[in-house]
Every structure is written in structure tokens, then in C-alpha cells.
A = this chain, B = another copy of it.
């Protein structure tokens, strides 16, 4: 079941020396940091999300034979109801569930997916069109409002689900349904005069089409993705004409600017990351894919510029992104409010998708450093330790008003973090002809195919709690290839040895990856040691919200202080620049974690009588405190939290 059926052409990937991520099913997490996160995702998150989809009426939209039920989500001022894109939610759920099936077969789960697929197939229109909202409620309006109504966004997620399910089970039914839907899109959209020159304002179909192309090898799939990306932002805007055809004045567009959808100018000309954050990340993911598949350095250059803009000016220290709720996205350079941070879980997950793709064509740790940042911080914070409560917004400061929820008005995030965790292994390793890249560290075992050389690898490590990593190799016959190991950007003192012999990292490193080429033998061991002191981070002075403040980081893990640990609001705390930060492993904390202990100072409110303001500064008195990993916050009693601590 794991190989492609012959009727579908093999993926064309790798032709241009792209790294190919390892199949996630080849990486297991039998212990260590990710063991409980991935197990919980599989055992709790996936089944509980199906229950939510049932309970909340999401699956009802597939009862094509019945008259539609009353709306459970009202129409927004934009004309969009969250219900317009319920298909995307079970599309993403199928994807997440599928990722678990090969390693953990579950006939009941498979039957649930088959049930959804059967309904989708029954509902699909004769011409291939597939969108439950429009088929059941407003068939006459299909393809009349790409700007607001997410038709292709929903289809894209169904398509990703279909590809994942096919790869997990070999069953073609869902894939065929979606190929027919894509055929319909190809019939409808394109540069030809008899077609619509439009593209969905919520990107997603583009990257899904690349996934499809890698399965089908059908050049029409790649061509459509490419055309959608290049058509985006061409003027006059498709959305203007489309609005006029609906009898609307384009000037009344509620989001005012097509920058909201990265459609304000051609993507190759874009230099600033703007608009809705998830849309941007999905677009850039497709651009990264296409820059490789089409051997298109200009598109790669656009990605690089956008990446630099994001990381240099618009990215939270946690890897969160998109500070503003009003556009679910970006505002201006250095605008990084902490308590009102939107920083949607989906956006951090999708930044992981983008950076992962970038690293496959350009092995540079600046990409995988960010991937690691979201995995250990701003994406992981989106799911509770229990695997069934979530954050949509990942604030960096709270006064206790933020609580994880069981399900959301717009539940896009739960399935997004689920599909990341259920396919986590793919982010750890990539291979090409004679080279294996190790991007991430964390206890795991992997079965790797490096240009036909089969290697079993075992990472033994307490990472991210400890910086020592041992990579033990098992291979039947000696084989010569290159091991390329990421030296994390956060690390300023790294050493690598092979069978006890130190590697000269200065000579071995390119773009933060150390390459070791040799004949590898069974039992060889690579040891990495990353010095992992607790550190203070300072934000760029233009990020005014963080001025005079420090964030604490150790290794890839960003810390926060939670009221639950210290009994007062952390906003009361200050940390002197001299105070020692003492890491200590606390086995009792939510599955075990390294906490940072320090002697802080507490601003004393005693003597503050009546008025809010006075002319003498509050007294500061010693207050020991501890900081916990940011991704663990809001898993105990509700209270205040802060990432950026005031320096005393």
C-alpha cells in the first residue's frame, strides 16, 4: 500500500536536486519530547475532532439529498459565512487522520473517512464541481465571488486530504473525485479567452495542486498552480471585474485593499509580507514549491525577499505572525503587540510549511531555524497538553482573559496543528541522491532511503531539554554518502564528532549545515553537542512594545512566566540583567519540562493609596520566580502570562 499504484505516474520531484522530505511514516517517536505530543495527536486529537465535526453540524453539510439545515454560522459583513468553508475543515481532518493510518491502522477511522468520501462523491456535480455550500445552497452563485467566498480554498483542502488518504491507503476513490474537481477547475479557469482569469483570494489550491502533481505527474496540475500564482495581483484586478458582474461597486470591498489577499501586485514584485497571514503563508508555500518545480530563480528570489521581510520585521519571537485581528494578519514593520497578538495557530503552522519547503531547495538553516521555532513554540502553543483544547490566537501576554477552547467559531486551527503533528516525522529529515539532511533534533527512529542506500537512524537525545544528541546508524553494507547536519542558529557553541573524532565545523559548515561525507558503516555514531544556556533575547529597538524587556530562551524553546507558578501577575515582575537563569528539569510539569528559575524583583503595590499614579517609583523587592516553556502555557489554572519581561 505504500507505493504508488501504477496507474498514477510517479512524482516528478527531485529532478533539480531538490531534497525530498522523508515519508513521515518512516519516522517514529518511541520516546523523548515528541512521543506524547504525537501519540496524543493520534489517540486524542484526531478522534475528538471527528466528534466535534459531528456534534457541531459540520458533517451535515454533506447530506446532499436533504434540504440544508438552518445556518449555524451567520453571514458576515463580507458576505462570507464560516459555513461556506466547512469542507476545508473536514478536508484537513481527513488529511490529519490519514497521516496516522499507515503506522496505526484503524478500520473504524478509515470507515469514517470513507463515509465522508462517499457523500462527497454523491454530491459532486456532473461537471466535477465540488463545494457543499454552493451545490446545496446557491448553485447559481458558484464561481461568482472568488474574492470573498473561499470556493477553491475549500477544494484545496479536500485535495490535500485526498492525496494524504490515497498515500496512506492506496484507495483511489477520493483522489479520483478530486481529480475530477480539478479537471472542472481547469475547464473553468485559465488564460484562454473562454475561461475565467480568476484565482481564489484565500490561497491554498495552489500548494494542493503541487501535491497533486507530485502524485499524478499530470503537467496540467502543475501548470494550473503556476498560472494561479502568476495571475495573482495582475491589474486590472479580476476581483474588480467580478464585483461589477455581481452588480457591486468594487470600492465597497470590506477589506479595502487586495493586499489582504496578497493580490495587490504580482507576487514576483512583492517585497513586504502583507495581509492575511495564513493566506500569505499558503501562497509562499506554493511559490517555494513552484520555484523548484519550474526551476524559477525569480520566484525563489521573491520568496527570499519576503522571508527576510518577515523575519527581520514582522515575526514574533515565538514564531507567531500576523499581529492584528482586524485582517487576521500583518500591519506594519515592527508592530508586535503582545497582549493583542493575533498570531493565529494556522499562520505559525503554515510558516512551518513554507520554511520546510524553502529548505528543500535551499538548505539554509535560516529556514529550518524558523521551522524549529514554530514547532517548539508558536504552533505548538495552539494545542493543549490534553490534545483537545486549542488556541486560535497565540498571545505573548495575558491578564488571564485567554482560555483554550474545545471548539471554535472558525475552527481552522485544530485540524491544522493536528495535520502537522500527525505527519511530524517528515520535517526531521530530507534526502537527495547521496545526501541526508538532518533538520531537527528530538528522540526518534527513522528508516531512510538515501539514493537507494537504506539506513536506520536512531536519535538519542533529551532535546530540546538538553543539547546532546547521539545519532546511531544501522546499515547492512557500508555506504558512502553525505550526512548534512543543521547547527541551530541559536547555538553559539557546537561540536560534532563521528565515532569520537571531532569534526571541523568551520570547514564543514555551509549556511548553518555541517556536511560530513565518508563511508558510513553499521554502528557508526555521530555525536552533536549544542551548548544550551538560558539566554535573554532583546528585540530590535523599533519593536517598541518590547523595548526595555527581555524574552527568555533556551535552545529552541522560548519561555514565559505564568501566574500559576508565581502567584502574582508576571506583569509585576522585573528581571535584572545580572540575575542568573537556572535551568531545572521539572518532571511533574505537564509531562516534564525544563523550567528556568531566577531571582526577580516585584514592584510593590503597598503604600499605593487611592490614586493610580504617584510621583515616586514603586519599591522593588526580591521575588524568585520560574519561567516555563511558552508552548505549555494555559494548561493549568487560568491566570496572567508574559513572555517579554521587564528588565529591572
Task: Please report A residues at the B interface, Cβ cutoff 8 Å.
Answer: 308, 311-313, 315, 317, 332, 334-337, 339-340, 397, 399, 401, 535-544, 547-548, 551, 569, 571-572, 574, 577, 602-605, 608, 610-618, 642, 646-647
* Contact, CB under 8 Å: A537 / B614: yes
Select A613's contact among B401, B540, B617, beta carbons within 8 Å. Answer: B540
- Given the interface pairs A547-B646, A548-B574, A577-B617, the reply to whether A313 lies near B541 with Cβ below 8 Å is no
* Contact, CB under 8 Å: A317 / B539: no
* Contact, CB under 8 Å: A541 / B332: no
A610 to B315, CA, bound (A): 12
* Contact, CB under 8 Å: A538 / B337: no
Name the B residues within 8 Å of A541 (CB-CB): 572, 602-605, 608, 618
* Contact, CB under 8 Å: B603 / A313: no
- Given the interface pairs A312-B612, A537-B614, the reply to whether A571 lies near B544 with Cβ below 8 Å is yes
A574 to B647, CA, bound (A): 13
Q: Give me 18 other A-B pairs in contact (C-beta within 8 A), A311-B612, A536-B615 excluded.
A: A308-B610, A311-B610, A317-B612, A317-B613, A537-B613, A538-B613, A538-B616, A538-B617, A541-B602, A541-B603, A541-B618, A542-B569, A542-B571, A542-B572, A544-B571, A544-B572, A548-B647, A551-B613
Select A614's contact among B339, B538, B604, B618, beta carbons within 8 Å. Answer: B538
* Contact, CB under 8 Å: A538 / B618: yes
Name the B residues within 8 Å of A317 (CB-CB): 612-613
A604 to B551, CA, bound (A): 19
A304 to B559, CA, bound (A): 43
Q: What residue in chain B is nearest A571 (Cβ atoms)?
A: B544
Name the B residues within 8 Å of A574 (CB-CB): 547-548
- Given the interface pairs A312-B610, A611-B311, the reply to whether A605 lies near B540 with Cβ below 8 Å is yes
Q: How far is the CB of A339 from chain B (nearest CB, A)?
A: 7
Select A340's contact among B340, B535, B547, B577, beta carbons within 8 Å. Answer: B340
A646 to B574, CA, bound (A): 14
Name the B residues within 8 Å of A602 (CB-CB): 541
Name the B residues within 8 Å of A577 (CB-CB): 617
Name the B residues within 8 Å of A332 (CB-CB): 399, 401
A541 to B569, CA, bound (A): 10
Select A543's contact among B313, B340, B401, B612, beta carbons within 8 Å. Answer: B612
Q: How far is the CB of A642 from chain B (nearest CB, A)?
A: 8
A605 to B540, CA, bound (A): 7
Name the B residues within 8 Å of A537 (CB-CB): 613-615
A643 to B537, CA, bound (A): 26
* Contact, CB under 8 Å: B538 / A615: yes
* Contact, CB under 8 Å: B548 / A646: yes
Q: How far is the CB of A609 from chain B (nearest CB, A)?
A: 9
Q: What residue in chain B is nearest A573 (Cβ atoms)?
A: B547
Listed by A's residue number, 11 A-B pairs whose Cβ atoms lie within 8 Å are A332-B399, A334-B612, A335-B399, A337-B339, A536-B617, A537-B614, A538-B618, A540-B613, A540-B618, A543-B612, A548-B574
* Contact, CB under 8 Å: B315 / A612: yes
Q: What residue in chain B is nearest A558 (Cβ atoms)?
A: B613
A162 to B63, CA, bound (A): 62
A401 to B308, CA, bound (A): 24
Q: How far is the CB of A535 from chain B (nearest CB, A)?
A: 5
Q: How far is the CB of A601 from chain B (nearest CB, A)?
A: 11
- Given the interface pairs A317-B613, A539-B613, A604-B541, the reply to whether A548 lies near B551 with Cβ below 8 Å is no
Name the B residues within 8 Å of A397 (CB-CB): 544
* Contact, CB under 8 Å: A312 / B611: yes
A611 to B312, CA, bound (A): 5
Q: How far is the CB of A305 from chain B (nearest CB, A)?
A: 13
Q: How far is the CB of A130 from chain B (nearest CB, A)?
A: 32
Q: How far is the CB of A451 from chain B (nearest CB, A)?
A: 34
Name the B residues within 8 Å of A618 (CB-CB): 538, 540-541
Q: What residue in chain B is nearest A608 (Cβ atoms)?
A: B540
Q: How far is the CB of A567 from chain B (nearest CB, A)?
A: 14
Q: How far is the CB of A189 from chain B (nearest CB, A)?
A: 33
Name the B residues within 8 Å of A401 (CB-CB): 332
- Given the interface pairs A335-B399, A541-B604, A617-B577, the reply to whether A313 lies near B612 with Cβ below 8 Å is yes
A618 to B312, CA, bound (A): 16
Q: Which 6 A-B pairs have the closest CB atoms?
A: A544-B571, A541-B603, A548-B646, A537-B613, A541-B605, A541-B618
* Contact, CB under 8 Å: B339 / A542: no
A512 to B446, CA, bound (A): 78
Name the B residues within 8 Å of A642 (CB-CB): 544
A612 to B574, CA, bound (A): 22
Name the B residues within 8 Å of A339 (CB-CB): 337
* Contact, CB under 8 Å: B646 / A539: no
Name the B residues within 8 Å of A603 (CB-CB): 541, 547
Q: How far is the CB of A120 from chain B (nearest CB, A)?
A: 34
Name the B residues within 8 Å of A608 (CB-CB): 540-541
Name the B residues within 8 Å of A337 (CB-CB): 339-340
A642 to B551, CA, bound (A): 23
A35 to B195, CA, bound (A): 68
* Contact, CB under 8 Å: A399 / B605: no
Q: How far is the CB of A50 from chain B (nearest CB, A)?
A: 29
Q: Which of A315, A337, A542 has the most CB of B within 10 A?
A: A542
A605 to B397, CA, bound (A): 25
Q: What residue in chain B is nearest A366 (Cβ atoms)?
A: B610
Name the B residues within 8 Å of A543 (CB-CB): 612
Name the B residues within 8 Å of A334 (CB-CB): 612
Name the B residues within 8 Å of A614 (CB-CB): 537-538
Q: What residue in chain B is nearest A397 (Cβ atoms)?
A: B544
Q: How far is the CB of A75 from chain B (nearest CB, A)?
A: 11
Q: How far is the CB of A192 from chain B (nearest CB, A)?
A: 40
Q: Which of A339, A541, A611 has the most CB of B within 10 A?
A: A541
Q: How far is the CB of A562 from chain B (nearest CB, A)?
A: 14
A613 to B643, CA, bound (A): 13
A32 to B642, CA, bound (A): 47
Name the B residues within 8 Å of A335 (CB-CB): 399
Q: What residue in chain B is nearest A400 (Cβ atoms)?
A: B332
